[in-house]
Structure 1
Amino acid sequence: MTRWWGPRKSGLGSWHFQLWAPAQTAPKLEIEGREPVEMAARPDGVFEAEVAATPGTRYRFRLDDGLQVPDPASRGQDGGVHGWSRLVDPESYAWQHADWRGRPWEETILQELHVGTLGGFRGVANELERIAALGVTAIELMPINAFSGTRNWGYDGVLPYAPAESYGTPDELCALIDKAHGLGLMVLLDVVYNHFGPDGNYLGAYAPDFFHAEADTPWGGAVAVDEPAVAAFFRENALMWLRDYRIDGLRFDAVHAIGNPAFLDQMARDLRAALPDRHIHLVLENEHNEADRLAPGLYDAQWNDDFHNVLHVLLTGETDAYYVDFADRPAERLARCLAEGFIYQGEPSTNQDGKQRGSASGHLTPSAFVAFLQNHDQVGNRAMGERLTLLTSKEKLRAATALLLLIPQIPLLFMGDDTGSHAPFLFFTDFHDELADAVRNGRRKEFAKFSAFADEAARERIPDPNAQATFAASRPEPGPDAAEWQAFYRGIIGLRTRLIVPRLKGAQAIAAKAVGDKAVTAAWRLGDGAVLTIALDLGEHPALPDHAGEPVCAVDGRFAAWFQPA
């Protein structure tokens, strides 16, 4: 039989409930205020029931041993991830911009946002006019699905279908997306299909086949996406965000931890086939640098960590931990990134125990790579959550920002970048008791490999993830020179919008090379034959190379860009 997840309307006032529970013999459906309902057994471990109900009704499942669990595909929770699930009618919201079909990928200028630190769905909605005025064309929401507690940096979710209660209601999420579309903004969403958080995941109690217990991952057994019911769970989730909430695209978190390219490829094909009349953008995070996933008809792009890593070395001089792979000849590595996308294309990686990492990527269009100077990982995974505004000079950061926004790769900003924020973005959770202790101690142990935190006393200064103050400190307050940064971003984004975006489709690199220890030049032939040339020098005594003609952009003697029409 066809498997799907979550309740669905099956008639006037009637809802059909379904649960994949192959380890159970007679689970029951509980509707608040009623006697438990026997569920009929169907093939392959599926149980189902049809009952009269209305949107807002609270329900859950009772397992054979009496354990009461929420629907794993709950569209909304009441009382947290251990509480009741609520019926949500996906057709109830009255869309004001129902004719929105999205924007082409080449027009994408992203800004990543954490909904919780911005005041929930309503808080993000209040920021949209400012973001659109900056010239950004798409926001990317960090994961918004239900997690344990009231605050989480995003990657400990356990109910992938349910918007977090502390962020707002499903209708408030719809209103945020609707408003964005009215302003010409796309909305992308970060989804996590490689693991579940440590509190509130009951799947193993009734569907142990959801995981490969023998596979070792940082989060326990690997998600068994080769099982048809599990693959359907994630496919239906992705479709829900794209179809019911009219999200414009998805960023798939850490797919290297899924370890199943066939599942990923089929996911892309299924989503595109289901929504052929819209611009749907699919983006990967993939440490394996697999160019095959970026073939036509699959994924539009991959987050290019290589770009960030090598720029971070050039901007800060840090070479600890995962930056060690980029410490040697960073200017040459940056040149390769600008010309070919990935830096690691099959070379051995110190961070991966000398294993080969990546595949050839020079044949891909530059827009197959999402470039960034920082994001939630590269700030939040720092012990103290420092931003680049505190780690390098203003002049170097301005030059690197101009590079990010004017190269033909797709640029991504992190919230607070455009206001020069000095506020940290820390790792924060809302766990309690033994789990809180384990997360706090594990976080501090993780940084023992960094020289600055080699001794225990230094690690004790790392903020407690569970403290309310850690979350409060992570709000992206504007920096002391916010107006100056905003004007700078508006100007550079305006150049990209006028000179590069209309010519981006079909762009290809001409050449890139290092011209000093911290200096590079690069050139691209854009889709209409125009040539874009850039020069960057992050050395202590910058000296940009001579170039015929006046630059269309020059920044503090460290960056320049020239544009030659076809």
Structure 2
Amino acid sequence: MTAARFPFGAQLHAATGMVFFRLWAPNCTAVSLLLEGQEPVPMNAVRAGWYEVQVPCAAGARYKFRLADGTDVPDPASRQQQDDAHGWSIVVDHDAYPWQHPDWQGRPWSEAVIYELHVGVCGGFKGVTANLPELAALGVTAIELMPIAQFPGTRNWGYDGALPFAPAVAYGTPDELKELIDTAHGLGLMVLLDVVYNHFGPDGNFLHLFASDFFREDRSTGWGAAIDFRRRQVRDFFIENALHWLNDYRFDGLRLDAVHAIDDPDYLFEFARTVRGSVAPERHIHLIVENEDNCASLLDGASPSFDAQWNDDGHHCLHVLLTGEHEGYYADYAVTPAEKLARCLAEGFVYQGEHSEHCGRTRGEPSKALRSTAFVLFLQNHDHIGNRAFGERLLTLCRADAFRAAAALVLLSPQIPLLFMGEEDGAREPFLFFTDHHPQLAEQVRVGRIEEFSKFEGFADSADSPTLPDPNEPTTFAASVPQPTAESALWRAFYGSLLALRREHVMPSLAGIGQRESAVLGRAAVSVGWLSGNTWLRLYANLDEAPVEFEMAPSAKLLYASSDEAESDAAKGLLIGSSTLLFSMQAGTPKA
């Protein structure tokens, strides 16, 4: 590893016993390196606000940077912390881990079945590692870790990360994270990481003290001043962070959180181009975005681009159809939700330039020409459970039979499916918003949550108003741990059978999909068809209780029916309530 490639942080040269330390501190007139138990070492001021020094040192050494006013700060590019975001930074030797599967190159994106999880809730890196064989046996092919970057305290969703290069101490050591990834690769599982490049958490990041140029005060986000991606140093910081996770830890891909909050869209194209050009070409590296703006141009594959976007449009349509909810962002989907779902399944985005009442503006770009795998579809994820006042899982908000029909739609559709931890067990525990902030910030978060939900139904200003869980209470975190139930084996068998069908009948077709069609069959019933080669796959789903009629060519082969009754009535041209069907038929046969 050379200073030219990773100019941020501490770089160990094990062969010489030297460590090269660098810090970008354009606001400082002097910076010193503070090694634990030693006198401060003045750092050399070099070009453009950089300070650097090389000293004899070893892996495990603890250090901070001392600013001219005497303030000691952790390394913003720390690879490991002693305690949390406020503690000593630690020098790490990333070449020391003995990889057991060094030849792993990943899997094609078309094979992705993603399982999103929170490392802390799952018992840390060791707890996740222990559960990997069961996930692989279920048919999952990729796990996605919610953000693990070092945050303040011991409990956090991860989106309050302060030190983006350091795995959270509360979850385990860097070697334990590598063991997790190494074990996953041995089981044929990809490992994806959720990263946050649009903001820093409110506590534990000290960049404003020595590198205020990291931010632009003329633009603000929901998290404060926007990060200034006009600056080369800022761009490089996050590109190097991505390469750190992909190369030092061998993650198979990254999911970039809320890229609509990155105020320089050109950066995203540079990011994809640079990252893909800096990783061994034989590796399957996958880049996914969360993007409220529905930018199809980021996904078109015309140049190095992103593999996929989380399809919130699809989730919102399904949620409205299953629950009838219409507040907040669901308002945009409450009118003709079945039509919107049909469009989503065939074309990707629902909003492709139409006006969004919730956003107060037009949103999206045409997406019909994009491949189906450019969209990640889900019934649940951390956001849409945890951002509810009480963190309710969808299974507690709708009929179980309708939930199963919707799950089959997600897992058998041509888009990339994502499950949220516990879903495969039929978990009903909430996933609540939890933190471990200092008292003043904890109170601000608690009050902010109350204000956020006060405008929703059920939160009137009265003594009868429900009490929101306090994010900072340890019990809030404990209540979010999913637990197996007496029905877990049945749920696992259900998901396992669907994933086996996907592996056999859907995955082989994805690369060749061309023409796509969709139709509305009823109030909450849709059909979607996609042509791959000379074979149509047609999916029919009815989330309502009332049956609907449909037509299917006699030559069509039924691949899946959600129940014996659904299979029997399908032969009569009837799609019963809360059911899903999947057919295969040769092109040229009269369509439905």
TM norm structure 2: 0.94
Q: Which residue does 2:583 correspond to in 1?
A: 562
- Aligned residue for 2:11? 8
The Cα RMSD (Å) is 1.3
Tell me the SS of whatever aligns to 1:552: strand
Give the alignment of 1:497-512 within 5 angstroms.
497-512=503-518
For 2:246, the equivalent position in structure 1 comes to: 242
2:313 alignment partner, one of 306, 317, 334: 306
Deviation at 1:459, TM superposition (A): 5.6
**Which moved further from structure 2: 426-435 or 279-288?**
426-435
Aligned ranges 1:322-341 → 2 under 5 Å: 322-341=329-348
Code of the residue aligned with 1:145 in structure 2: it is A
In the alignment, is residue 454 of structure 1 matched against residue 460 of structure 2?
yes
Equivalents in 1 of 2:45, 2:64: separation in Å?
A: 17
Q: Match of 1:542?
A: 547
Is 2:10–2:22's contact at 8 Å kept on the other side of the alignment? yes
Query: Equivalents in 2 of 1:104, 1:495: separation in Å?
Result: 18
Q: Residues of 1 paired with 2:463 and 2:120: CA distance?
A: 31
CA contact (8 A) 1:535 1:544 kept: no
* 1:538 Cα deviation after fit: 1.3
Deviation at 1:509, TM superposition (A): 4.2
Q: Quote how far apart the aligned CAs of 1:451 are.
A: 1.2
SS in 1 for 2:143: strand
Partner of 1:287: 292
**How far apart are the structure 2 equivalents of 1:224 and 1:232?**
12
1:361 equivalenced with 2:367 (yes/no):
yes
2:440 aligned residue? 434
1:262–1:399 distance in 2 versus 1, CA, 3 Å: same
| Partner-residue secondary structure (3-state), 1:399 | helix
Contact kept, 8 Å, 1:174 with 1:245, in 2: the verdict is: yes
- Distance in 2 (CA, whole Å) between partners of 1:363 and 1:390 is 36
1:108-119 residue pairs with structure 2 within 5 A? Answer: 108-119=112-123
Q: Provide closer, same or farther for how the CA distance between residues 242 and 459 of structure 1 changes in structure 2, counting only shifts above 3 A.
A: farther
**1:453 aligns to what SS in structure 2?**
coil
Tell me if 1:20 matches 2:24: yes
**Equivalent residue, structure 2, for 1:410:** 416
Residue matched to 1:467: 473
Report what 1:232 is aligned to.
236
Q: Deviations over 1:519-542 (max 9, x none)?
A: 11110012x332110111112212
Question: Residues 482-533 of structure 1, C-alpha deviation per residue, up to 9 Å, x if partnerless?
Answer: 111100000000000011112211313421011111111110012x332110
Confirm or deny: 8 A CA contact 2:402 2:543 kept in the other structure. yes
Q: How far off its partner does 1:565 sit?
A: 5.3
Cα deviation for residue 125 of structure 1 reads: 0.2
Are 2:63 and 2:74, in contact at CA under 8 Å, matched by a contact in 1?
Answer: yes
Structure-2 change in CA distance of 1:536 and 1:147 (3 Å): same
Q: Distance in 2 between matches of 1:124 and 1:458?
A: 40
Report the Cα distance in structure 2 between the residues aligned to 1:470 and 1:461, rounded to whole angstroms: 13
Q: CA deviation at 1:226?
A: 1.4
Residue 101 of structure 1: which of 105, 129, 152 is its match? 105
Contact between 1:537 and 1:544, CA under 8 Å: does it hold in 2?
no
SS in 2 for 1:127: helix
DSSP 3-state at the match of 1:230: helix
The one-letter amino acid of 2:376's match is: V
Aligned-partner Cα distance in 2 for 1:562–1:12: 64
Among 150, 155, 159, the alignment partner of 1:155 is 159
Equivalent runs, 1:312-391 vs 2, <5 Å? 312-353=319-360, 355-391=361-397
Which one is further off, 448-457 or 196-205?
448-457
Per-residue CA deviations over 1:532-561 (Å, capped at 9, x if unaligned) read: 101111122123523234521111442111
Aligned to 1:87: 91
Q: Which residue of 1 aligns with 2:168?
A: 164
Give unpaired runs (5+ residues) of structure 2.
564-575, 588-592
Q: Report the AA paired with residue 10 of structure 2.
A: P
Call closer, same or farther: CA 1:284–1:55 in 2, change over 3 Å: same
Amino acid at match of 1:473: A
- 1:492-531 pair list within 5 angstroms: 492-526=498-532, 528-531=533-536
Equivalent residue number for residue 570 of structure 2:
none
In structure 2, distance between residues paired with 1:129 and 1:248: 18
SS of 1:451 mapped into structure 2? coil
1:422 corresponds, among 422, 428, 441, to: 428
Residue in 1 that maps onto 2:145: 141
Letter in 2 for 1:350: E
- Count residues with an aligned counterpart: 564
Q: 1:360 to 1:223 in 2, by over 3 A?
A: same
| Aligned-partner residue type, residue 285 of structure 2 | I
Question: What is the CA–CA distance in structure 1 between the aligned matches of 2:308 and 2:17, rounded to whole Å?
Answer: 43
Give distance in 1, aligned partners of 2:95 and 2:460.
54
Is 1:486 matched up with 2:486? no
Question: 2: distance between equivalents of 1:402 and 1:365?
Answer: 21
Given the alignment of the two structures, is residue 277 of structure 1 paired with residue 282 of structure 2, yes or no?
A: yes
Counterpart position of 1:254: 258
- How far did residue 563 of structure 1 move? 1.4
Q: For residue 458 of structure 1, report the CA deviation from its aligned partner.
A: 6.0
Name whichever of 143-152 and 212-221 sits farther off.
212-221
Kept in 1, the 8 Å contact 2:557–2:585? The answer is no
Match of 1:129, SS state, is helix
Aligned sequence identity (%):
53
Amino acid at match of 1:219: W
8 Å Cα contact 2:521-2:548 kept in structure 1: no
Q: Which amino acid in structure 1 is aligned with residue 412 of structure 2?
A: L
Task: Name the TM-score, length of structure 1 as normaliser.
Answer: 0.98
Partner residue, 2:559: 552
- Alpha-carbon distance change, 365 to 79 in structure 1, aligned in 2, over 3 angstroms: same
Q: Which runs of 4+ in 1 moved over 3 A?
A: 456-460
